[in-house]
């Protein structure tokens, strides 16, 4: 069994999913993870599908060098309305959410009440390629993959407060 960075309080009511050496940028993956943290599973899936279709945006908060300003980012509390549509990271996170959903179905959890309680993105070892430069030189051409792990927890159904008439 693989060790996660965090253990859940109630393992019977939670499911896990993780990916190693994912060929997508660490920085955009970190921003996608922070955007969907705390969301319900269905809401996060819909949000990431909208990101792929460029109907919604991922706000860039930490790694924002060279990121453009977009009107869709005004909906989030970011400085300078910085945001992007990281398609590759969003599709990989959609696959991880699908994996977590199937893990929950195998465990017998209620899929509609799952919430992304914990999500973590770590840097993976860089992969090395080479690019050829002028005058016969060669420079490194590195990619920065990532490891992702998430824990989804089943929440109790929320009961609305009764009116005091």
DSSP 27-92: HHHHHHHHHHTT-BHHHHHHHHHHHHTTSS-EE-SSS-TTPPB-GGGGGS--GGGBEE--HHHHHH
**pLDDT at site 159:** 61
**pLDDT at site 121:** 97
Three-state DSSP class for residue 95: helix
Cα 5 to the center of its chain, rounded Å: 16
Q: At 136, is the pLDDT very low, low, confident or very high (cuts 50, 70, 90)?
A: very high
**pLDDT at site 32:** 97
Does residue 161 have a pLDDT over 80? Answer: no
CA separation for the pair 47, 104 (Å, rounded): 20
Q: At 157, is the pLDDT very low, low, confident or very high (cuts 50, 70, 90)?
A: low
Does residue 1 have a pLDDT over 80? Answer: no
**pLDDT at site 131:** 97
Which of 164 and 61 is assigned the larger pLDDT? 61
Q: Which pair of structure tokens corresponds to residue 72?
A: 């869709």
Q: What is the pLDDT of residues 46-101, one digit of tens each?
A: 999 999 999 999 999 999 899 999 999 999 988 889 999 999 999 999 999 999 99
Q: What is the pLDDT of residues 3-51, one digit of tens each?
A: 899 988 899 999 999 999 999 999 999 999 999 999 999 999 999 999 9
Report the predicted TM-score, pTM, of the whole model to 2 decimal places.
Answer: 0.90
DSSP-assigned states of every residue in 98-134: HHHHHHHHHHT--GGGEEEEEEEEEEPPPEEEEEE-G
């Amino acid at each position: 069994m693989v060790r996660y960075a965090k253990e859940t309080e109630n393992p019977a009511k939670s499911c896990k999913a993780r990916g190693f050496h994912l060929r997508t940028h660490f920085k955009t993956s970190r921003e996608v993870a922070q955007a969907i943290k705390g969301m319900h599973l269905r809401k996060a899936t819909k949000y990431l599908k909208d990101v792929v279709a460029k109907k919604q945006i991922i706000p860039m908060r930490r790694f924002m060098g060279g990121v453009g300003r977009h009107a869709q980012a005004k909906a989030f509390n970011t400085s300078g309305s910085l945001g992007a549509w990281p398609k590759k990271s969003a599709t990989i996170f959609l696959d991880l959410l699908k994996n977590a959903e199937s893990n929950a179905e195998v465990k017998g959890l209620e899929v509609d009440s799952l919430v992304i309680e914990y999500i973590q993105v770590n840097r993976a070892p860089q992969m090395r390629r080479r690019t050829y430069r002028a005058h016969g030189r060669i420079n490194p051409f590195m990619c920065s993959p990532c490891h992702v792990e998430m824990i989804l927890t089943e929440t109790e159904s929320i009961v609305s407060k009764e009116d005091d008439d």
